[in-house]
Chain A
Amino acid sequence: DVKVTQSSRYLVKRTGEKVFLECVQDMDHENMFWYRQDPGLGLRLIYFSYDVKMKEKGDIPEGYSVSREKKERFSLILESASTNQTSMYLCASSMTSWMEQFFGPGTRLTVL
C-alpha cells in the first residue's frame, strides 16, 4: 500500500513564526502536492512538484513556499505565519500528474 505520512497531525503556532510541514511518501512517486482545505471551499492546491527540485505554483501560493530536495519528501513552508493560514493541510502523491493521488492524514494548523 502507498503510504503518505505528514510530520504532525496537529500544530499550534504564533503569528509571525516560520512553520515547516513535512510530507514523506514511500512509493517512489514522481509527483507530490500540497493542498489546504477549508469549510465550504473544498481542496485548494498550493504547490506541486513533478520532480526533485522542481516546483509549480498552484491556485493559492501566496504566503507559502516549498522544498523538494529528495524524491520522497516534500516540505511546505510558511515564512511568517498569519491567522488566515489556520487550516487543514493535506499532502498527496501520485505516479503521474493525471492519475489518482494518495493522501496523507493531514495537519491541522492553528495560528494564534
Chain B
Amino acid sequence: AQSVTQLGSHVSVSEGALVLLRCNYSSSVPPYLFWYVQYPNQGLQLLLKYTTGATLVKGINGFEAEFKKSETSFHLTKPSAHMSDAAEYFCAVTEEGANSKLTFGKGITLSVRP
C-alpha cells in the first residue's frame, strides 16, 4: 500500500528566504508524485507532478521538486518565498493501475513573515 509522510504541520519562513517542504512516500512500484497548494477557503490546485523522465520537476509560481528514489522523497522547494505563497501544501502519491488512486499527505501550512 502506498503512503505519504509530511513531517510537521507548520513551516514559517521570512519573505525572500528558501522554502523547503518535505515529502516522503512509500510505494511498492514506481510512483507518480504530486504537490498541490490550497489557499484559504479554496480547493486544491496542482503545483507540479512527476510521472517519468526528468527527476527535477518545475511547477507554477516558481516551485520545483526533485524525485529521489534512493531517499523515497519528493521535497518541494522555492528559492525565494513571497507573501502570496502562504497556503497549505499537500503531497500525494499514486501508482499506475486501475485500482489505484491518489493518497494524500496530511498537509503542511506555510507562513511567510514580512
Contacts and interface: CB of A to CB of B under 8 A. Distances in A.
A and B associate: yes
Interface of A: 4, 9, 33, 40-43, 45, 48, 90, 92, 97-106, 108
Nearest to A48: B101
18 contacts: A4-B43, A33-B101, A42-B105, A42-B106, A43-B44, A43-B90, A45-B101, A92-B43, A97-B100, A98-B102, A99-B32, A100-B34, A100-B49, A100-B102, A102-B46, A103-B44, A104-B43, A106-B41
A98 B94 contact: yes
Given A42-B106, A98-B94, A103 B101 contact: no
A41 to B, nearest CB: 7
Interface in B35-77: 36, 41-46, 49
Interface residues of B, number: 25
B104 interface: yes
Interface of B: 9, 32, 34, 36, 41-46, 49, 90, 94-102, 104-107
Contacts of A108: 41
Contacts of A100: 34, 46, 49, 102
Contact of B43 (A42, A98, A105): A105
B106 A98 contact: no
Contact of A90 (B32, B43, B98, B99): B43
A54 to B, nearest CB: 13
A98 B101 CA distance: 5
Contacts of A41: 106
B69 to A, nearest CB: 18
Nearest to B46: A100
A103 B45 contact: yes
Contacts of A101: 44, 102
